[in-house]
């Protein structure tokens, strides 16, 4: 469920109502500041300049002082994690040996809301003398920093959040948003995709989401690690489950919760789950239900995942369709394995109820 915004009417105590009302004003002030930023031609030129630096083997240096310095550190991390090599540069430390980190071909992103922060302006002067391309993000008209920049970006005139309207709040939110836009536009122009993202985010929740499904499979068809039988559609239900049990037993694992059913050409044509088996038996009818051919009782043309799918794709499919098993196929629609709900639970992408 999506988080709800503070609701002043939800609190009975007057002090709580005042607190929630102020929270709403702060959020509105910051949202207005972000909405008010207008990327224009200078923004597009800045993206091109940062891409050119990266293509020449350069690194993006991101610098600011105070709150802008903290925003600079976050933006540097965002650039680095989306394919633009970057590291933060402390403007004060720069004049005590830190400038030794600046190399020919590097570019700089400098932040100062006033545009006149002495340490940042001094750094800009030194970088400009060295021929380092400078992109700046400032407020208002940009001050000295904008004048020293090759590409001067502005968040415009921003009113800081109440009650004092003094602490850097709306301005830092807008600066961060504009910097994020730079990073993500650079990534898009570079063709930075999901697999690239996964290489840089191998750990944590993001890493789990971007893991290729083919790497997470416990039940696999073919190869040395095979433990899942691809059962022909003309086999009986009993023969299908016997084959599945034999494949799992040979590998020393439990049987998967579904049969993967293939046609004469080895391509996926259906699935038959343990739930399907229970329903078939409970329906009864004439004859032995286990003697029926799978082609007559399977789910045809089941939803499946291709070789390029990620665990995020799998989680979305399971949640949307409320299914527990998903076949995974290669580029020719031949099964390579079966993903089940427990794989997603193990990756902490769904709870044990499948939600």
C-beta separation of 290 from 267 below 8 A:
no
Q: Which residues is 327 bridged to in the sheet? A: 338
Mean confidence (pLDDT) of the chain: 89
> 3-class DSSP state for residue 54?
helix
pTM, full prediction? 0.67
Q: Which domain holds residue 136?
A: 21-192
Q: 45-59, 110-124, 203-217, 333-347: lowest mean pLDDT where?
A: 203-217
Number of structural domains the chain divides into: 2
The answer, yes or no, to whether the previous bond of 295 is cis (omega within 30 of 0) is no
Instruction: For residue 323, give both structure tokens.
Output: 């299914």
pLDDT at residue 85 is higher than 60: yes
Check residues 119 and 196 and name the one with the higher pLDDT: 119
d(CA 327, CA 177): 40
Phi and psi based region of residue 11 (left: phi greater than 0; alpha: psi -120 to 50; beta: remaining):
beta
In terms of domains, do 130 and 224 share one?
A: no
- The reported pLDDT for the residue numbered 93 is 92
Mean pLDDT in residue range 127-132: 95
DSSP notation for 92-109: HHHTTTGGGG--TT-EEE
Over the stretch 49-69, which tens digit does the pLDDT of each residue have? 999 999 989 999 999 999 999
For residue 325, what is the domain's CATH number? 3.10.580.10
Instruction: For residue 153, give both structure tokens.
Output: 């970006």
Q: What angle do CA 245, 248, 249 make, to 5 degrees?
A: 80
For residue 187, what is the domain's CATH number? 3.40.50.10490
Does residue 324 fall inside a structural domain?
A: yes
Q: How large a percentage of the chain has pLDDT more than 90?
A: 70
Last residue of a domain, one of 192, 227, 249: 192
**pLDDT-derived band at 322, boundaries 50, 70, 90:** confident
In the chain, the N- to C-terminal Cα span, in Å, equals 11
Mean pLDDT in residue range 32-40: 95
Check residues 204 and 335 and name the one with the higher pLDDT: 335
Over the stretch 323-351, which tens digit does the pLDDT of each residue have? 888 999 999 999 999 988 777 776 666 65
Mean pLDDT in residue range 85-110: 92
Q: Which residue spans within 81-178 are E strands per DSSP?
A: 86-88, 107-111, 134-138, 151-154
Last residue of a domain, one of 138, 163, 192: 192
- The reported pLDDT for the residue numbered 164 is 93
Q: 179-183, 297-301, 312-316: lowest mean pLDDT where?
A: 312-316
Does residue 73 fall inside a structural domain?
A: yes
In terms of domains, do 239 and 308 share one?
A: yes
pLDDT at residue 185 is higher than 80: yes
């Amino acid at each position: 469920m999506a988080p709800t915004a503070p609701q002043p009417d939800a609190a009975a105590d007057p002090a709580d109502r005042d607190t929630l009302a102020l929270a709403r004003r702060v959020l509105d002030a910051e949202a207005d500041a972000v909405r008010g930023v207008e990327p224009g031609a200078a923004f597009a030129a800045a993206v091109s300049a940062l891409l050119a630096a990266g293509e020449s083997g350069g690194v993006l240096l991101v610098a600011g002082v105070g709150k802008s310095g903290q925003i600079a550190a976050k933006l540097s991390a965002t650039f680095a994690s989306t394919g633009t090599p970057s590291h933060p540069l402390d403007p004060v430390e720069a004049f005590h040996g830190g400038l030794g980190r600046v190399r020919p071909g590097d570019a700089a992103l400098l932040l100062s809301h006033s545009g006149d922060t002495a340490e940042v302006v001094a750094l800009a002067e030194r970088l400009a003398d060295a021929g380092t391309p400078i992109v700046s993000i400032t407020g208002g008209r940009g001050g000295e920093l904008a004048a020293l920049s090759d590409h001067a970006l502005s968040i415009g005139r921003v009113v800081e959040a109440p009650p004092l309207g003094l602490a850097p709040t709306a301005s830092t939110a807008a600066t961060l948003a504009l910097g994020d836009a730079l990073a993500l536009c650079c990534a898009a122009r570079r063709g930075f995709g999901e697999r690239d993202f996964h290489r840089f985010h191998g750990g944590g929740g993001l890493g789990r989401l971007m893991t290729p499904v083919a790497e997470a499979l416990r039940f696999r068809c073919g190869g040395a690690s095979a433990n899942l039988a691809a059962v022909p559609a003309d086999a009986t239900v009993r023969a299908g489950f016997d084959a599945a049990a034999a494949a799992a037993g040979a590998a020393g694992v439990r049987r998967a919760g579904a049969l993967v059913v293939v046609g004469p050409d080895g391509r996926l044509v259906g699935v038959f789950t343990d739930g399907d088996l229970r329903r078939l038996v409970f329906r009864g009818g004439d004859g032995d239900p286990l003697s029926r051919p799978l082609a007559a009782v399977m789910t045809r043309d089941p939803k499946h995942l291709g070789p390029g799918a990620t665990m995020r794709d799998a989680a979305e499919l399971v949640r949307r369709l409320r299914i527990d098993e998903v076949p995974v196929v290669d580029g020719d629609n031949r099964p390579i394995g079966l993903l089940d709900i427990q794989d997603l639970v193990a990756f902490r992408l769904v709870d044990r109820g499948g939600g």
